[in-house]
Amino acid sequence: MATNSSPLDYLPKPLLHRAAKVEDWIHEFREARALRSGRIPAIIAYPGYGGDGWARVLCRVLLVRHGEENQALYEDVRGWRSFTSIALNHVDVTVSHNGESHVVTADRGGVVDAVVPFSLEPGWNTLKVSTSGSAPVDAPVFVVDPECRIGVISDVDDTVMVTLLPRPMLAAWNAFVLDEHARRPVPGMAVLYERIKNAHPSAPFIYLSTGAWNVAPTLSRFLSRNLYPAGPLLLTDWGPTHDRFFRSGKDHKEQNLARLAEEFPNMRWILVGDDGQHDEQIYGAFAKHHPEHVAAVAIRELSPQEAVLAGGRKSQPHDDGTIWVWAPNGGGLASELSRQVPETAI
């Protein structure tokens, strides 16, 4: 046995779900054909976040034609085209900053979600990410100030953006055809977030959604165009996972909330969602297990039309000691938060 080996090296790899095996076969076929045709690697970097001495880097490696490797070109990709891109799986990616480099590996969907040990200043920083054959790309990372005590974790669909997503046909239209210009912001939510940002300039804003990484550029453009504070997007991979036919959005949110609580033990979060899906259930469970990490839960109430399309409202009483506020728009939530949570100072 090699001296640098570990008993973990000899554990069998987890068995893949049958759907995942089929997806992997399709990915490998498309990847091999793309490489034979002369396509080259390119990286799309997503905003990440970090803390004292570390940074969570998020990006995706794709195979593109020559001349398309400039990241700015990806900003024009929307709709169904974002779901037909060819990922380069299990490839090494180098993350660099001020002469220091670390190598991480993309997953089976070409996505890099890795923590690297960098000492960065609080606020926005820029790392460089690259892989063999690709030009380095800027990867923005928001480093949370150790003195910061308030942050915002926000859902996206029907919380900051009106999508009517639970309706199957409309969901497909929104995901595969429509671009961000045709999506409507929820009234007053950008103003609410901006008021929190003005009151707490160092507060992180993290957008936690069940959407796929494929739509990250579209969501980023939407948030920027509608003047929402910049922040990391925590999305999911499209399609089956290693143990199930399709990803679980609920598990994705629960796992990331628990992770954020562990990564920022002194942070109290304002959790923002809507009453049309599982946000209240997910936030309620988080508040029960991590009450010290919750400043308040703000729930946007869907309109009657949205509630019908979402299958009805899921509101329920909460007696967990956490402050809960409900309103149909950002203005109403701002009023309730100002009245019940003085520390938000909005």
Q: What is the pLDDT of residues 212-258, one digit of tens each?
A: 887 888 889 899 999 999 999 999 876 544 444 445 678 999 999 99
Same domain, 265 and 176: yes
Q: Please tell me the distance from the alpha carbon of residue 138 to that of residue 23, in angstroms, as a whole number.
A: 30
Structure tokens at 26: 């399709």
CATH number for the domain spanning 340: value is 3.40.50.1000
**What contacts 37, CB < 8 A, 6 or more positions away?**
none
Same domain, 90 and 214: no
- Of 127, 143, 159, the one marking the end of a domain is 143
Own/partner contacts of 320-323, CB < 8 Å, gap of 24 or more, are 320/284, 320/287, 320/288, 320/291, 321/291, 322/284, 322/287, 322/291, 322/294, 322/296, 322/297, 323/295, 323/296, 323/297
Q: What is the DSSP letter of 16?
A: P
pLDDT tier for residue 139 given thresholds of 50, 70 and 90:
very high
Q: How many domains does the chain have?
A: 2
Same domain, 32 and 69: yes
Residue-level pLDDT at 192: 96
Same domain, 191 and 212: yes
Same domain, 27 and 172: no
Same domain, 106 and 193: no
Is the separation of the CB atoms in 61 and 85 below 8 Å? no
Instruction: Please tell me the pTM assigned to this model.
Output: 0.84
Alpha-helix runs per DSSP H in the chain = 18-36, 168-176, 189-199, 216-225, 249-263, 279-289, 304-309, 330-340
pLDDT tier for residue 72 given thresholds of 50, 70 and 90:
very low
Averaged over 93-116, what is the pLDDT? 95
Same domain, 23 and 60: yes
Q: Which residue do the tokens 């796992």 mark? A: 255
Q: What is the pLDDT of residues 302-311, one digit of tens each?
A: 886 666 555 5
6 found inside a domain: no
Beta bridge partners of 34: none
Same domain, 35 and 136: yes
Residue-level pLDDT at 184: 87
Averaged over 74-102, what is the pLDDT? 77
Q: For 98-102, 169-173, 219-223, which range has the lowest pLDDT when averaged over its residues?
A: 169-173
Same domain, 135 and 215: no
Q: What is the pLDDT of residues 19-61, one digit of tens each?
A: 556 656 566 767 667 667 778 888 999 999 999 999 999 999 9
- Of 90, 121, 143, the one marking the end of a domain is 143
191 found inside a domain: yes
Nearest to 85 by CA among 56, 65, 66: 65
Same domain, 172 and 118: no
- Specify the higher pLDDT residue, 133 or 290: 290
241 found inside a domain: yes
Q: Please tell me the distance from the alpha carbon of residue 195 to that of residue 243, in angstroms, as a whole number.
A: 42
52 found inside a domain: yes
Same domain, 226 and 139: no
- Of 143, 169, 187, the one marking the end of a domain is 143
pLDDT above 80 (res 185): yes
Quote the domain boundaries for residue 328.
150-344
Same domain, 169 and 71: no
Phi, psi of 55, rounded to the nearest 5 degrees: -145, 135
CATH number for the domain spanning 116: value is 2.60.40
Beta bridge partners of 153: 206, 271
How do beta strands 150-154 and 268-274 pair? parallel
